[in-house]
Amino acid sequence: MNLTLHVWRQAGQDDNGGFQTYEAKDVSPDMSFLEMLDVVNEGLEASGQEPIAFDHDCREGICGMCSLQINGVPHGPDRGTTTCQLHMRSFKDGDTVVIEPWRAGPFPVLRDLVVDRTALDRIIESGGYISVRTGAAQDANATPVNKADADEAFEYAACIGCGACVAACKNASASLFTAAKVSHLARLPQGQVERYERVVSMVAQMDQEGFGSCTNQYECEAACPKEISVRAIAQMNRDFLVASLRGR
């Protein structure tokens, strides 16, 4: 099949950027979306033009590095799927595809489709962990964990930190990202000691980075490639309230 691509090109952080149009020819339905872009890029390179810069690494949907807004939707049309796992069989011959970087104030564009997401690392840095010195741990089976709790903690821990939730949100809120980590650790007995300090620090950092507030539109859940539930946000808000009442 043949497609027309409108791709965001931007030389650097200070450049205004704009759309450019490319033809993607003889695209196989078995190609991944990024392989389709690889072929376009190899054509550009062979003719001495600079290829489209985009972030990607594992191409297995787990590293969280790929980040494209495809026809206005983070990671494209398939639910529960990262861009790298999106295949061209989801498109039709003759389609026009608009490809943009994540759009959010705290994610400045570095070049073309590549954005800076280090703000998410700083949210984790502010408290998204359990403090335990290496070697200081007790036997792993000393504290049994209810299976339902362990399974739910896992659901939240599955976040890949891609930032699709932020890109999907009209307020560019990082609530789902932050809440996933808060809820993962709040579900486990090991996470209880720092539970309330954690939620306060992480929410403060999220605000400081310039992410917006949550207004319950659930766009984040719809865009999340790991289908993390917005129940995480409710958990974060509850923990934040309890922390405030406790004067943390």
CB 23 within 8 A of CB 44: no
CB closer to other proteins, 141 vs 216: 141
CB 155 within 8 A of CB 228: yes
231's CB contacts (< 8 A; 6+ apart) are 183
CB closer to other proteins, 28 vs 213: 28
What count of other Cβ atoms lies within 10 Å of the Cβ of residue 55?
21
Work out the burial of residue 72: count CB atoms within 10 Å of its CB; fewer than 13 is exposed, 13-18 middle, 19 or more buried. exposed
Q: What gap in Å lies between CA 109 and CA 103, rounded to an integer?
A: 8
Query: What is the closest distance, in whole angstroms, from the C-beta atom of residue 72 to other proteins in the complex?
Result: 22
CB closer to other proteins, 217 vs 222: 222
Query: What is the closest distance, in whole angstroms, from the C-beta atom of residue 161 to other proteins in the complex?
Result: 6
Query: What is the closest distance, in whole angstroms, from the C-beta atom of residue 14 to other proteins in the complex?
Result: 11
Query: What is the closest distance, in whole angstroms, from the C-beta atom of residue 45 to other proteins in the complex?
Result: 5
CB closer to other proteins, 110 vs 217: 110
